[in-house]
Structure 1
């Protein structure tokens, strides 16, 4: 029996399995769109509740991940309409990363780079942040993004191009860049 069929039968174990399969993916997506970890968690919880209650609306069980992503995007948009978001963005500390055998200095520079890119992305308008998140972090194709957010592919391409250009300008200017002093990093002499 397919997972969505088990969800339609209101099996709690199926919901837990669904949460284990897609929880991290949806949380990362929501966080990148909303800039707030707690709010992202709330949106993902709402997404799973909606999926559990309305699983029968999913026509093709093979499109479960896409359907869940659409729900998350819509919930994030709803949150963005309710509130004005101008919060300072924490780094991706909560995102799991593979540990590499690197020197502490290289790891520290990678953390700072991550924070700089994160802050730069968060300064973009939502429409650019949304397509950049879906394209680069969720690795969706342009056609999939267009389908998810119900926009033309050409619009997605223009938003990606404009978003990359704005992101480049922000990073060039150093706006929102984490300074070594902010992280209390002492430069060795």
Structure 2
């Protein structure tokens, strides 16, 4: 923290290495576009580097970065872009399997399941996608999500419940289509 406050770029690189993947995964699930997610994370680190003096409690660094990336994603979701006009036909897999399984078949099934879940989450409205990602992927409590999003706790709980219900319906439709 001291080195960051002294504007040491090497400390920024350490920060990026430590939190970059987690922030990118969160941003990708929120904005549904890999390039936009990368831009949001990049903006997050730039903003954090410039504003590191505002962080009062160094133990809240992860939470502070998460709030910045959420706000960057919200801004990008509100901003008009050519990406809304030009179609794209890609499905990107963000997290590569680290070889946890020995059998290629198991790797394929695991990868396919993650991709289906990722696609289902990305198909949710932003307000549901945001709380689902923060709750399940970032393991934040309802209280923490409320603080990060500026919503009331009951609103977060309602969005989680509705988001789960929508995910279940999406999953059931896909299973019916597979039959």
Q: Indicate whether 1:144 and 2:168 are aligned.
A: no
TM-score by length of 2: 0.88
Provide the residue aligned with 2:52 in structure 1: 55
Deviations 1:63-108 (A, max 9, x none): 11111000000000000001376866724x3314432234332322
Larger radius of gyration: 1
Provide the residue aligned with 1:170 in structure 2: 170
Are the aligned partners of 1:142 and 1:153 in contact in 2 as well (CA < 8 Å)?
Answer: yes
Of 1, 4, 22, the match for 1:25:
22
Q: Indicate whether 1:90 and 2:91 are aligned.
A: yes
Of 43, 67, 70, the match for 2:64:
67
**Superposition RMSD in Å:** 2.0
Structure 1 residues 139 and 87: CA distance shift in structure 2, 3 A: farther
Structure 2 alignment gaps of length 5 or more: none
Q: Which has the higher helix share?
A: 2
Provide the residue aligned with 2:39 in structure 1: 42
Provide the residue aligned with 1:99 in structure 2: 99
User: Would you identify which runs of 4 or more consecutive aligned residues in structure 1 move more than 4 Å?
Assistant: 84-89
Say how many residue pairs are matched. Answer: 173
Structure 1 residues 58 and 88: CA distance shift in structure 2, 3 A: farther
